[in-house]
Amino acid sequence: MKLSHVSWNLAGLSLPLLVAVVTVPHLIAVLGNERFGLLALAWGLIGYAGALDLGVGRALTQMVARLRGDGHVATIPDALATAGRITLIAGLVGGVVIAVIALSGGGAWVNAKDVSASELENAILLLAIALPAQSMSATYRGLNEAYLNFKGISLVRASLGIVNFGGPYLVAHYTTQLPWLVSTLVISRLLALLAYRTIASECLAHHAGTQNGGKYSSSIAKSLFSFGGWITVSSVVSPILLQADRFMIASILSAAAVTVYVLPYEVVIQSLILVGAISTVIFPTLSRLVHAKPDQWQAYFRRWLSIVVATMLAVCLALAFLIPVLLPLWVRTNLKPESIVVGQILCLGVFANSIGTMFYALLQARGWPNITAKMHLVELPLYVLTLTVMLNHYGIQGAAWAWVARMVFDALGLAIFARRLND
């Protein structure tokens, strides 16, 4: 694996962060805590749409990496066509479900005082349109990752991330209506799908010698689901685990309270961009080494794990120390003192999560996605119960401690399983 691959991936994740630094304070000042909290929920929901690829994007990355290693490149177009059809259908079904929920008054559970039910309903309906595009994007991104085309992925991801924050920022100069704010997120996802598809076609033309679309194959679909089936479980459950805190805060406390929690969360969680860049890049290489050179993958993984542990320990300690200075500098208005304490608590969970992410990638690269999926199934009821209790008794800080506990449990569990399966 080349360091340039990590660098490109890191750049694609970092540029949107810089835009967020500039735009979020203005959004909070203009929208207020409640509307910004609802916008944060929209970001969370559209991020969850990635789960609708049913794990097929990740499965496609592993399949194409193995096909390239075995010299069976002629099968790759069929694999892409099969994965694309699966994710399109899944995205359409998900969009219909969200639309039905919106039309059935699903927005009523959000504790929002100054936003009308019709405004919420229209915003949710717009998000439903983005779901098929988001799920299909994972397929084309998966093909690019298998070909190690991290430059192309990063350029699209950076553009998408910039619009993710910059779009609402520009719209907020003219209106604070949620549907108009959310429409920028929808348009950016549609454009991102087109871009991912274009660079995927270029990859096929360059490496496989063809731009012709493949054909749907039931045998390939079965193979994708045999690996992706368990990833599907993780892909569905993991975003619920990831977004449960802010949605339960909105329900149990208020939409305004989401802002108190999300601000420090977004600051500390961005430190994981390095881990995300590394784990994404090592996955196709690790998948290939496990099958083609089984004597080399352990040293390869340990080297990158050591780098992640050392780097993230330093980063998390620095963040915990500096967040009382960073948050007030970033958000000059409407900042609650409790946000600083929440941020310091979350630093513990970020460090644990960085370790868990590496073992998550290892287990999937070795063809054991069932382990990570079963871990998530165990965590879900435990986390929801813990989060409910902690929110009711300790408020926002309780939510932060519940998140830390889940991250520690997840990292320990994945590490233990990975070690036992290696013995």
**What would the pLDDT profile of 60-106 be if each residue is shown by its tens digit?**
887 887 777 667 777 888 888 898 898 898 889 888 988 888 888 76
Contacts of 101 (CB under 8 A, 6+ apart): 124
Query: What is the pLDDT at residue 202?
Result: 87
Neighbouring CB atoms inside 10 A of 171's CB total 18
Interatomic CA distance for residues 276 and 297, integer angstroms: 19
pLDDT at 208: 64
Distance of CA 34 to the CA centre of its chain: 24
Residue ranges of the chain with per-residue pLDDT less than 50: 1
- Nearest-angstrom CA–CA distance, 70 and 323: 49
Q: Tell me, what amino acid is at 159?
A: S
**Residue with tokens 């513990």, as numbered in its chain:** 348
Q: At 297, list the tokens.
A: 């993958």
Closest CA to 376 of 283, 275, 271, 244: 244
Amino acid at the residue 380: L
Structure token pair of residue 294: 């089984």
Predicted local distance difference test score (pLDDT) of residue 294: 66
| CA 285 to mean position of chain CA atoms | 21
Residue 298's pLDDT is 79
The burial class, CB within 10 Å (0-12 / 13-18 / 19+), for 364 is buried
DSSP 57-85: HHHHHHHHHHHHHHT-GGGHHHHHHHHHH
- Which 3 state secondary structure label does DSSP give 297? helix
State the Cα–Cα distance between residues 237 and 234, nearest whole angstrom.
5
User: Three-state DSSP class for 147?
Assistant: coil
Where helices occur in 204-296 by DSSP H, the ranges are 218-252, 255-269, 273-292
245 with 308: CB under 8 angstroms?
A: no
Task: Give the model's pLDDT for residue 384.
Answer: 93
pLDDT digits (tens, 9 = 90+) for 101-134: 888 876 666 666 777 778 888 888 898 888 888 8
pLDDT for 127 equals 87
Determine whether 225 is exposed, middle or buried from the number of CB atoms within 10 Å of its CB (0-12, 13-18, 19+): middle
